[in-house]
Structure formats: structure tokens, C-alpha cells
Amino acid sequence: MALDQSFVGRSYPPTEPYEVGREKIREFAVAVGDANPVYTDPEAAKALGHPDVIAPPTFVFAITFAAAGQVVADPQLGLDYSRVVHGDQKFAYTRPVRAGDRLTVTSTIEAVKTMAGNDILDVRGEVHDEAGEHVVTAWTKLVARGAEEGQG
């Protein structure tokens, strides 16, 4: 099913703040097997000039993807989520996410395309801290196609 082209450029309201906790960062670092102390030890983080422990680079995806959920689930867009796989992912950082951050995400639909029977959706998530300063931008490409390809 072709997606509604009029959605290109549409932005969704900022999400409610997500508060980044030290223990959630630790849980993520342990899950990916990364023992870098900058993720778990506030003193190690301070030694590198960070005010608190920082999060691994891809940690923020859980926050931006949850925000993209309101786009993906928008019934007017017509994306078949049961066929969606993750195509591309990119991040551009102004600074690392760190413990104590209260982050909001503003999602914008950058592109909707139908190519070779696949529906393709590009969503940009701009992540800001409580002071309104930019932290990171995440670009997520979702492809709705046969389930034998891609890896979610």
C-alpha cells in the first residue's frame, strides 16, 4: 500500500521528558558487554570532563524509537508495522547523553517512498535537554517489506 506523500515534512509534538538514570545506563552497558568505566563510574566520567556517567553512543535509540512510534502508529500514514524492518540508522551528536538528562524528542517525517513494492519511511528525531540545548539527532529508516529480509 502506497504511503500518503502529504506526510513528508510533518513534525510531531515533543515527547514528555525521558529522565536518563545512571542505573539504566549501567544496565545497557552490561547488556552490550562494554566495561568502559565512563558508563558506570562517575569519577571515571569526571576524569574525562563529563559531569556524570555518559551513555554508550546507541543508548539514545530506545528513546528516539519510542518517539518515532507515534509516527509509525499514525493510522493516517498507513504503514504496515507487522512488515517493518530497520533499514538504516544514523546519529549526529552535539554531546553524549548523560545521567540526569531530561530528554525530549521531536520527530519529523523526512521522506516517504514506495520503491519496488516496499514502503520506506525516514524519520528524524531531534533530542534536546531540559535547557533546550541540542544533544543528538537520530535518523531512522524503516522499510515495510517481506519478513525474510532485514533484522528489525
Q: Which of 3, 54, 67, 120 binds other proteins (CB under 8 A)?
A: 54
Give the type of residue at 134: H
Is position 123 an interface residue for other proteins (rule: CB under 8 A)? no
Stretch that binds other proteins, among 9-17, 70-78, 82-90, 103-111 (CB under 8 A): 82-90
Instruction: Label residue 25 exposed, middle or buried (CB < 10 Å: 0-12, 13-18, 19+).
Output: buried
For position 71 contacting other proteins by CB under 8 A, the verdict is no
Residue 150 engages other proteins in binding (rule: CB under 8 A): yes
Q: How far is the CB of 61 from other proteins (least distance, A)?
A: 5
Q: Is 134 in the site for other proteins (CB under 8 A)?
A: no
Q: Contacts by 43-50 with C-beta closer than 8 Å and gap 24+?
A: 45/98, 50/96, 50/98
Beta strand ranges found along 11-133 (DSSP E): 18-19, 84-93, 102-115, 118-128
Selected from 14, 17, 78, 87, the binder of other proteins by CB under 8 A is: 87
Minimum distance from residue 27 beta carbon to other proteins (Å): 5
Task: Indicate whether 73 belongs to the interface with other proteins (CB under 8 A).
Answer: no
The residues of the shown chain that bind other proteins, judged by CB under 8 A, are: 27-28, 30-34, 36, 38-39, 48-50, 54, 56-58, 61-62, 65-66, 85-93, 95-96, 139, 146-148, 150-152
